[in-house]
């Protein structure tokens, strides 16, 4: 390791810089990289951190506004997609999608129904089953919050060229396969 490395200021990016968090290179070998290359990698990790923070803030804002927890929001997103595709949702299919027990599904559906987010009705072809649908007002709320943000993110990805998208896809898949978030060492 070179002693003359210029360290960045003490900001959020510093917590991602291996020269600061791993100066003895016990976890990260950056010996073959110059300062500019390390700084660029830190910028990538910083961008990921900012995106994750923005995603968490949006999720919290949507859940707080609608007074829901994360599983409730996942259920509503599933109901929106199913509605858009013309797929009938049953308590069992929802439990399977969310990977929760039938008891937890019943509690979730009771909460969502009490709050006016869903309706239960007889299944159109199976008289033993129930059909779960999202109410129109909740569908519009989800569309305006989560849907609008997704549309903006789609536009950002669409501005990339096909080869750039392939690089991003490979990068994110590789990052996902590490089993840890990028800042887990900070």
All structural domains of the chain, each given as residue ranges with its CATH number in brackets, are 8-66 (no CATH), 67-175 (1.10.10.10)
Statement: residue 155 has pLDDT above 70: yes
> What is the tens place of the pLDDT at every residue in 57-97?
877 776 666 678 889 989 999 999 999 999 999 999 999 99
pLDDT (mean) for 136-148: 86
Statement: residue 3 has pLDDT above 70: no
pLDDT in the model for residue 61: 74
pLDDT (mean) for 108-127: 94
Q: Is the dihedral of CA 32, 36, 39, 40 positive or negative?
A: negative
pLDDT (mean) for 131-153: 88
The proportion of the chain whose per-residue pLDDT surpasses 90, expressed as a percent, equals 59
pLDDT in the model for residue 14: 82
- Mean pLDDT for the chain overall: 86
pLDDT in the model for residue 166: 97
Asked whether the whole model's pTM tops 0.75, one would answer no
Lowest mean pLDDT across 1-5, 39-43, 166-170: 1-5
pLDDT in the model for residue 65: 67
pLDDT in the model for residue 184: 44
Statement: residue 6 has pLDDT above 60: no
pLDDT (mean) for 147-172: 92
């Amino acid at each position: 390791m070179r002693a003359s490395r210029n360290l960045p200021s003490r900001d959020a990016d510093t917590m991602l810089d291996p020269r600061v968090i791993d100066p003895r290179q016990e976890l990260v070998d950056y010996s073959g990289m110059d300062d500019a290359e390390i700084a660029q990698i830190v910028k990538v990790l910083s961008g990921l951190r900012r995106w994750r923070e923005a995603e968490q803030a949006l999720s919290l804002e949507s859940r707080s506004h609608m007074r829901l927890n994360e599983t409730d929001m996942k259920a509503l997103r599933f109901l929106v997609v199913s509605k858009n595709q013309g797929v009938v949702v049953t308590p069992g299919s929802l439990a399977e999608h969310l990977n929760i027990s039938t008891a937890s599904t019943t509690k979730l559906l009771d909460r969502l129904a009490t709050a006016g987010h869903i309706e239960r009705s007889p299944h159109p072809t199976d008289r033993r089953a129930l059909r779960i649908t999202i109410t129109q007002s909740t569908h519009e709320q989800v569309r305006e919050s989560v849907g609008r943000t997704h549309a903006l993110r789609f536009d950002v990805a669409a501005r990339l060229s096909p080869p750039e998208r392939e690089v991003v896809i490979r990068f994110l898949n590789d990052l996902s396969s590490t089993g840890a978030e990028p800042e887990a060492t900070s």
